[in-house]
Amino acid sequence: MPEPIRLKDHEKDARLVRARAVVGATVVLLLSLVLVARLYYLQVIQYEHHSTLAENNRIHVQPIPPNRGLIFDRNGVILADNRPSFSLTVTRERAGDWRKVLDTIVSVLELGEEERTLFEKRVRQGRRPFEPVPVLFELSEEQIARIAVNQFLLPGVEVAAQLVRHYPQNEHFAHSVGYVGRINERELKKLDPVDYSGTHHIGKTGVELFYEELLHGQVGYEEVETNARGRVLRVLKHTDPVPGKDLTLSLDLNLQKAAEAALGDRRGAVIAIDPTSGGVLAMISQPSFNPNLFVTGISIKDYAALRDSIDRPLYNRVLRGIYPPGSTIKPVVALAGLDSGVVERSTRVFDPGFYQLPNVKHKYRNWNRGGDGWVNMELAIARSNDTYFYSLAHRMGIDRLHRYLSHFGIGQRVSLDMFEEAAGLMPSREWKRVSRRQAWYPGETLITGIGQGYMLATPLQLAQATALLANKGKWHRPRLLMKADGLSPEQLMASGLLAARPAPPDIQLKDPHNWDLINSDMQQVVHGARGTAHKVGATARYRIAGKSGTAQVVAIRQGEKYDRNKLQERHRDHALFIAFAPAENPQIAVAVMVENGESGSGVAAPVAKQVMDAWLLDEKGRLKARFAAPPQELAHDNER
Amino acid sequence: MTMNASFDRTLSDEDVLRRRATLLQRLHIDGPLLLLLLLLAAGSLFVLYSASGRNLDLLVKQASSFGLGMLAMLVIAQLEARFIARWVPLAYVLGVILLAVVEVMGHNAMGATRWINIPGVIRFQPSEFMKIIMPATIAWYLARNNLPPGLKHTAVSLALIGVPFVLILRQPDLGTSLLILASGAFVLFVAGLPWLWIGGAVAAVVPVAVGMWYFVLLQYQKQRVLTFLDPESDPLGTGWNIIQSKAAIGSGGVFGKGWLLGTQSHLDFLPESHTDFIIAVLAEEFGLVGVCLLLLVYLLLIARGLVITVQAQTLFGKLWAGGLTMTFFVYVFINIGMVSGLLPVVGVPLPFISYGGTSLVTLLSGFGVLMSIHTHRKWIAQV
């Protein structure tokens, strides 16, 4: 059967195509509605969401770190300022493989493996995404040039200018002003993340740490419009940072240098306080170190050298060094004896060269083995007679000694604004029972009376006790800060800018005349013919009230003699001297500790005198007129 | 007197109308299409000026591409569809050969081999040529027989579509190969392919898609699909584009941020903002209203295309016009769908708006075909 011939039916084809076109048009319309619905969903229903997204894309808030407050000495000499410095920053998110980029930096700048490790550590410390993290500081011009030439190899690497802390006086104020360093992870947890969002450094020690809040200031903000690559196109809003407050310290650069010169190359501590205000005039712990090393991160090698040095340059002897105060405590003990009525001014003690408790064989020896014969209080202080003070201490008992000496600051943190001050130790029955689980022995009272035994004090505490002797018991906590923003530390505390640290109550004697008596006895130490420090007094242009002392480093056993030749140099006694001057109108109280100096009167006293000379005498070697003025007008003069 | 006056007036009115129609007809230009195309061209330059960051050079290039495309359209419109039909098989064979040549020695750009480059002479994409020729081929083949197509003719058509589809897919260019597939398939649809078969094909999409995933798709193509399914999974990598384009569209709201005021594109958050993602710029700056207006113009173009399809005198003309018109909508739908996050990202430009000369010339050539089909009708039929 032949296949039927199929003719083309044009009408039918046209109808078919027309039907399909209608279907097609319907589908097109429906799908267009889908698109419109989708756009309606995005642009109307989700408008807020996407609008926020687009804004967040575009607008970034960048912190502007405040300039850290400057630190001046009392004469306006800059002790700490901010210097522009170029640092190398890495932005992890833009660097791609940032470890490889670090390798390239190391090879371009020809650095070593040690820096490479440090770089990696610093990059890891980056806090926010897209934050440029500084890895290398104080770039030299050559380094900047090398980075510029190789920029194409270093994505995400930039040379940034910033202000970096600088200490123009180098090692002179390392132990008082302290230094700043990079914020570490532990500090980061405690800091206000907003206020420190643009800050890389924080005070680590000294004034820099104690006054961190004042020095830091308040962070500023910049709202910027950025493109997708993070490039800032324009600033939309700008809030200025509030710079930190400038601090003026009571320290005096010239006195500081004079004191360092007086100490020479010996190890030791010198602290000078203005007894009328508590202001610290000079604070030396020698040897010192250059604080600038710490600002941008000290190298491991440099740090090891400082840390492991036998001379311990990082050790703040003024605040952290605790020593038996030795004979320097005797004026305070004598004053306590008078005030408590245990001794009279006329009380005499016979010194055969030792003291014995009743019914005890042990001999508590005077430093002068031959004995001084009959001694009264004046002679006992001038000659530093131990036997008199054994007797006095025995009669007073440890409880009263503890009360008086504590009031003079022994065993107490005395400072107003110094970081990490050691408390020292003023022993008591209670203390011994708790810490040693032992009763207090009478013999321990005796050696406490001459500043030995358990008693430990810092040079700062000795200076404070001296200042209290000088100003008749008026308590001013020693402070480094003189003015911040025109406000004294007390005013700062009153306005809540500084944590309050009230001074202990002033020391009230039953008979205030006793202050003058002890003052006079201390003058005898320096100016009396039999005074231990009479050699110093011979050349003095003004009256000095002082007291020498030695602090034992190695205990000497009963029956053994102190033989300097047998002892290694580092085991020799520390030399101590406390003094204030002019005796009739005290303007400066000084405590000197010379490590292994052996003789308080021979080694430490001349240092103290040089410090006082530097403060009190004018260039012609005469007492400055303002210090000779009577006390009533003095307060006026000081405010100048 | 009265008669005279009224006669004059009627005459002069008709005269004007006839004379204008005569001019366009003489050039074989379809008035409505031309008007819509000019509208789109003007809109494109407007949006491009903003999207390119006020780049006038780019604008001049786009305008000259448009001029070139118009010229191509004009030339093609002069050819009679019946005349073209004779050359379609040859064009198809030539196109397949060129695609094969690309496969062997094509010029590599952006990780895909799509170009034929004879230095100093010509540089073009055979796949673009195929976008016009593919529906023509199927239309030519089906028009020789009765509609609807039987099993044999459908199978041959699919084979004809399959060869260039595979060649382009291997370049690799998923977007274009799917468009070629669609342009051929639409001719089959217009030709009355039985609904049962269409339903079967749709049902077969799932296993085919799974097979493609494992054996055909390249890693970057898979990544695009994955990113489409969950753009947040890689917000800084491949998901970036979608998140940013959605933010651009969404932040435009109903009335937009205003011309030249879109932040997403001007701050470079929006990638490809003057090419594939230009609709996001338009949506950001002109809002929902702007996009709807654009869609309206597209729908009018498509409507005119379907009218031409229905009115075409030859079956070949009907099928080709229908295929081209439907494919045009696929462009629009895929582009807007992908930029708004409805579809995965495939490289399909927005017709007439996106920057790019090749795409413009191809599209305008397609509209030239429509005009040719419409304007070479024998007037006897109408009278």
State pLDDT tens for residues A597-639: 878 778 889 999 999 999 998 888 888 888 875 654 444 444 4
Question: Are B51 and B167 part of one and the same domain?
Answer: no
Q: Which residues of A touch B342 (CB under 8 A)?
A: 34-35, 38
CA of B63 vs chain A CAs: smallest distance (Å) = 28
Domain assignment present for residue A45? The answer is no
Q: Which residues of B touch A46 (CB under 8 A)?
A: 250
CA distance A161 to B252: 39
List phi, psi (to 5°) of B179. Answer: -65, -40
The closest CB to that of A6, out of B146, B309, B318, belongs to B146
CB B133 within 8 A of CB B92: yes
SS3 A198: coil
Query: Do the chains contact at B267 and A225, CB–CB below 8 Å?
Result: yes
For residue A298, the model assigns a pLDDT of: 82
Domain assignment present for residue B230? The answer is no
CA of B322 vs chain A CAs: smallest distance (Å) = 7
The widest CA-to-CA distance across chain B, in whole angstroms, is 85
Question: Are B206 and B281 part of one and the same domain?
Answer: no
Question: Are A283 and A202 part of one and the same domain?
Answer: no
Report, as ranges of residue numbers, the positions in chain A whose pLDDT lies below 50.
Answer: 1, 632-640
Query: Do the chains contact at A53 and B147, CB–CB below 8 Å?
Result: no
CA B108 to chain centre: 24
Exposure of A121 by Cβ count < 10 A (0-12 exposed, 13-18 middle, 19+ buried)?
exposed
Query: Which of A229, A249, A269 is where one domain is finished?
Result: A249
Query: Do the chains contact at A38 and B303, CB–CB below 8 Å?
Result: no
Question: Are A414 and A266 part of one and the same domain?
Answer: yes
Domain assignment present for residue A6? The answer is no
Domain assignment present for residue A30? The answer is no
Alpha carbon distances (Å) from A147 to A48, A87, A107, A151, B31:
45, 11, 11, 6, 64
**A224 dihedral zone (left: phi>0; alpha: psi -120 to 50; beta):** beta
Domain assignment present for residue B343? The answer is yes
Q: Would the pTM count as exceeding 0.80?
A: no
For residue B307, the model assigns a pLDDT of: 95
Q: Which of A39, A59, A130, A236 to mutate to test the interface with B (most CBs of B within 10 A)?
A: A39
Query: Do the chains contact at B147 and A12, CB–CB below 8 Å?
Result: yes
Question: Are A268 and A150 part of one and the same domain?
Answer: no
Q: Which two tokens stand for residue A351?
A: 């010194």
The closest CB to that of A43, out of B254, B309, B318, belongs to B254
For residue B21, the model assigns a pLDDT of: 59
Question: Are A364 and A492 part of one and the same domain?
Answer: yes
pLDDT digits (tens, 9 = 90+) for A388-430: 999 999 999 999 999 999 999 999 999 988 888 899 899 999 9
Question: Are B108 and B212 part of one and the same domain?
Answer: yes
CA of A92 vs chain B CAs: smallest distance (Å) = 14
Query: Do the chains contact at B267 and A47, CB–CB below 8 Å?
Result: no
CA of A221 vs chain B CAs: smallest distance (Å) = 21
Question: Are A188 and A259 part of one and the same domain?
Answer: no
Query: Which of B217, B244, B266 is where one domain is finished?
Result: B217
Which residue on chain A is closest to B341 by alpha carbon? A38
Question: Are A346 and A475 part of one and the same domain?
Answer: yes
Query: Which of B158, B189, B217 is where one domain is finished?
Result: B217
Query: Do the chains contact at A58 and B295, CB–CB below 8 Å?
Result: no
Between A and B, how many CB-CB pairs are < 8 A?
A: 148
Q: Which residues of A touch B248 (CB under 8 A)?
A: 50, 54
Query: Do the chains contact at B329 and A9, CB–CB below 8 Å?
Result: no
CA of A154 vs chain B CAs: smallest distance (Å) = 21
Question: Are A139 and A288 part of one and the same domain?
Answer: no
Query: Which of A249, A270, A288 is where one domain is finished?
Result: A249
**Residue B156 is part of which domain span?**
89-217
CA distance A608 to A546: 9
Question: Are A227 and A292 part of one and the same domain?
Answer: no
Domain assignment present for residue A46? The answer is no
CB A178 within 8 A of CB A205: yes
The closest CB to that of B249, out of A31, A43, A226, belongs to A43
Query: Do the chains contact at B267 and A58, CB–CB below 8 Å?
Result: yes
Question: Are B63 and B182 part of one and the same domain?
Answer: no
Count how many residues are written for chain A: 640
The closest CB to that of A24, out of B148, B306, B337, belongs to B306
CA distance A204 to A185: 13
Question: Are B253 and B369 part of one and the same domain?
Answer: yes
Question: Are A475 and A616 part of one and the same domain?
Answer: yes
Q: Which residues of B touch A227 (CB under 8 A)?
A: 267-269
Task: Give B169's pLDDT tier (boundaries 50, 70, 90).
Answer: confident
Q: How many CB atoms lie within 10 A of CB A539?
A: 9
CB A493 within 8 A of CB A499: yes
Domain assignment present for residue A578? The answer is yes
More confident residue, A157 or B364: B364
CA distance A457 to A576: 11
Question: Are A422 and A469 part of one and the same domain?
Answer: yes
Domain CATH number, residue A597: 3.40.710.10
Which residue on chain A is closest to B186 by alpha carbon? A24
- ipTM score assigned to the predicted complex: 0.88
Domain assignment present for residue A82? The answer is yes
The closest CB to that of A228, out of B246, B267, B303, belongs to B267
For residue A109, the model assigns a pLDDT of: 86
Domain assignment present for residue A131? The answer is yes
Question: Are B160 and B186 part of one and the same domain?
Answer: yes
Active site includes A599? no
CA of B116 vs chain A CAs: smallest distance (Å) = 34
For residue A506, the model assigns a pLDDT of: 92
| Number of domains within chain B | 2
Q: Which of A7, A30, A43 to mutate to test the interface with B (most CBs of B within 10 A)?
A: A43
Question: Are A292 and A239 part of one and the same domain?
Answer: no
CA distance A87 to A133: 10
**Residues 6 or more apart in contact with residue A550 via CB below 8 angstroms:** A326, A327, A573, A574, A575, A576, A598, A599, A600
pLDDT digits (tens, 9 = 90+) for B65-77: 999 999 999 999 9
Domain assignment present for residue B208? The answer is yes
Question: Are B61 and B164 part of one and the same domain?
Answer: no
Comparing C-alpha atoms, which of A200, A201, A205, A217 is closest to residue A177?
A205
Question: Are B128 and B161 part of one and the same domain?
Answer: yes
Question: Are B205 and B247 part of one and the same domain?
Answer: no
**Residue A114 is part of which domain span?**
61-249
Q: Which residues of B touch A229 (CB under 8 A)?
A: 268
Query: Which of B167, B184, B217 is where one domain is finished?
Result: B217
Beta bridge partners of A483: A248
How are the residues of chain B apportioned to helix, strand and coil, as percentages rounded to the nearest 5? 75, 5, 25
Question: Are B373 and B240 part of one and the same domain?
Answer: yes
Question: Are A552 and A627 part of one and the same domain?
Answer: yes
Domain assignment present for residue B185? The answer is yes
Q: Which residues of B touch A19 (CB under 8 A)?
A: 192
Domain assignment present for residue B11? The answer is no
CA B270 to chain centre: 23
Domain CATH number, residue A73: 3.90.1310.10
Cis peptide upstream of residue B172 (ω within 30 degrees of 0)? yes
Q: Which residues of B touch A26 (CB under 8 A)?
A: none
Domain assignment present for residue B16? The answer is no
Domain assignment present for residue B207? The answer is yes
Question: Are B102 and B62 part of one and the same domain?
Answer: no
| Set A327, A391, A548, A599: catalytic member | A327
Beta strands A588-594; A268-273: pairing state: antiparallel
| Number of domains within chain A | 2
The closest CB to that of A54, out of B263, B309, B326, belongs to B263
Cis peptide upstream of residue A168 (ω within 30 degrees of 0)? no
Percent of chain B with pLDDT over 70: 84
Domain assignment present for residue A571? The answer is yes
For residue B5, the model assigns a pLDDT of: 47
Domain assignment present for residue B111? The answer is yes
Question: Are B187 and B284 part of one and the same domain?
Answer: no
Query: Do the chains contact at B253 and A43, CB–CB below 8 Å?
Result: yes
Q: Which two tokens stand for residue A283?
A: 């604070």
Which residue on chain A is closest to B292 by alpha carbon? A36
CA distance A561 to A367: 11
